[in-house]
Structure 1
């Protein structure tokens, strides 16, 4: 006998929704049925699921009463409206938006970092997926924190336009083309031109001068890793299609050498160390696209503080930062027997 699960993917026509469908098929998730859902205007659109094609159904009218898990990637406002209703039907929601991340009754999960927190999903039948920039960060930080105790981190992010969805990718493409053919450059998605430029502004500004993206890194790292860690962040949008990079300065409670950090990270789940101290001996966002790992390079000691390290962290934001992590959470539910499914002969 085997157990299979009925899965719904909400937001199936978006970048992350399509990636979720692809990864479900790639990883042979034990799904008896997969439903692709979106808004009414996308009903009938065809999306790929492995070697199959699914027709998009209407999220608003779909019956979740016999669905085991809903992978929600339809945006924060949609999730706030529909996730509680879906959860009330007995379907576990794994949400990719920011709608539930800071709710004390909703676990925020990266399986390599805090898998035991998943037990708390029963309070609302909802599990939150972290922000893309935080997900890769905590995968790299967790094993180092266990070894030497992190006191403070300073993060500078270099985030690709796919973090803004299809509109961001289209804007970079169109502006780049306009530069070469001497057309006027239009900025619609971003407040300033993104082609051949960088923008130190992601999400809305807050009263203290930080942006919400920077605050998310702080709040989510504390929730998943350790509330005592001090975090400061500068988030920057860069003209890269896929892949987020982060320069991270870490101050530890106890001594740790660069060589020790390399050895720890090589053995850590989800991490891959590419760190040769030579030209090209590191990972860039381009090479991370389509890959599942969180890559760590440029591991070196910081002599300006006691017990300090610098590291460079890169990952495909559509995969580990969103779709892959969501499916890993679903796999965790299955492996721990937290979702029933149906028995098949």
Structure 2
């Protein structure tokens, strides 16, 4: 027997990816409903070899449905997720709304699968921030071996993390630079994004960090270990899809780079490509469409006693959002909502 699945926000980038990944992974679906706002009502989306028409989120009855994968903003989630949860449909939410709620599990299946059993408190499970998701996949197996004290991470985040408008802004700006007569101004970013980098993602907080940086700190503690100290600098770069991270890790005990490489090679969800030669590493454009989190440039940090550096790359629309949500759905079905 399969599950009755709802995709909320099916016409967006992440919603499209959720449908693609459900089909690719042959998730056991008995019935699927695709929902959108009224302005997108009737829009057709693909699910495997099927074409589905979107239904109105505002009037949809979640009663009798098993899981709802939400790929809409916090405002819409705040309105509709409790309705779905109250109707008995487990919500897997991709927004930031529930991530910091102590009664809502925040899950990366390769890292803290045991947390899935906490879904029953509110019938809601949270998906982490895209930049956090790929980092903790790399941190967890190393933490299990040598216990991480501190992480310093700098991110290089693609524009797709900001949605379709951000993708369009990069495209339009790039075209206008080469063709000044096709000059389109964008108000998505605070600075020019084409041929530039912007050290600012989300709102600034009182201490000078941005909300994106704060998310990485708080979410890593909730998912991996509350005692890990994390400091982050999050940067938007002119890449369409794929987030990259330069991660510096300080451990409580020494961990040799060769052992770390072996640990990561055996860890779930990770692909190590680490040759010390030209091109012996992965870049964002190579990770697009892939499930894995790629690790390269593993090396000892000689400036501290127990330090390692590594380079981490992943498709943010997949592992950073849609794939992780589908993996949570698979975990939930396997552990909690068994059929047949």
- For the aligned pair, the TM-score class normalised by the smaller chain equals over 0.9
Out of 142, 160, 173, the residue aligned to residue 144 of structure 1 is: 142
- Runs of 4+ more than 6 Å apart: none
Q: How does 1:116-131 map to 2 (within 5 A)?
A: 116-131=114-129
Contact 1:218 1:232 in 2 (8 A): yes
Q: 1:224 and 1:129 mapped to 2: Cα distance?
A: 11
The Cα shift of 1:264 comes to: 0.2
Query: The residue matched to 1:60 in structure 2 has which SS?
Result: helix
**Displacement, 1:340?**
4.9
Is the CA contact (8 Å cut-off) linking 1:291 and 1:316 kept in structure 2? yes
Aligned residue in 2 for 1:55: 53
Question: 75-84 vs 120-129, which deviates more?
Answer: 75-84
Match in the other structure for 2:260 = 261
Counterpart for residue 94 of structure 1: 92
Shift of 1:66: 1.1
- What is the deviation of 1:81? 1.0
Choose the corresponding residue for 2:27, options 6, 19, 29. Answer: 29
Q: Does residue 281 in structure 1 map to residue 284 in structure 2?
A: no
Note if 1:170 corresponds to 2:168: yes
Q: Distance in 2 between matches of 1:100 and 1:262?
A: 34
Q: Give the distance between the partners of 1:333 and 1:12, measured in 2 at CA.
A: 21
SS at the partner of 1:277?
coil
How far off is 1:187 after superposition? 2.8
Distance 2:97 2:320 in 1: 16
CA contact (8 A) 1:185 1:193 kept: no
TM-score (norm 2): 0.99
Deviates more, 1:184-193 or 1:147-156: 184-193
Count residues with an aligned counterpart: 339
2: CA distance, partners of 1:182 / 1:14: 30
| Alpha-carbon separation, structure 1, partners of 2:300 and 2:329 | 37
SS of 2:58 mapped into structure 1: coil
For 2:185 and 2:324, locate their aligned partners in 1 and report how far apart those are by CA, in whole Å.
Answer: 34
Distance 1:55 1:122 in 2: 31
Deviations 1:251-280 (A, max 9, x none): 000110110110000000000000000000
Segments of structure 1 that go 5 or more residues without pairing to the other structure are: none
The correspondence for 2:16, drawn from 7, 10, 18, is 18
Distance 1:39 1:185 in 2: 28
Structure 1 contact 179–185 (Cα < 8 Å) conserved: no
What is the aligned partner in structure 1 of residue 310 from structure 2? 311
Where 1:299 maps in the other structure, the secondary structure is: strand
Deviation of the 1:182 alpha carbon: 2.0
Query: Offset at 1:334?
Result: 1.2
User: Which string of whole-angstrom CA distances, capped at 9 and with x for unpartnered residues, describes residues 157-194 of structure 1?
Assistant: 00000000100100000000001112435231101110
Alpha-carbon separation, structure 2, partners of 1:182 and 1:154: 40
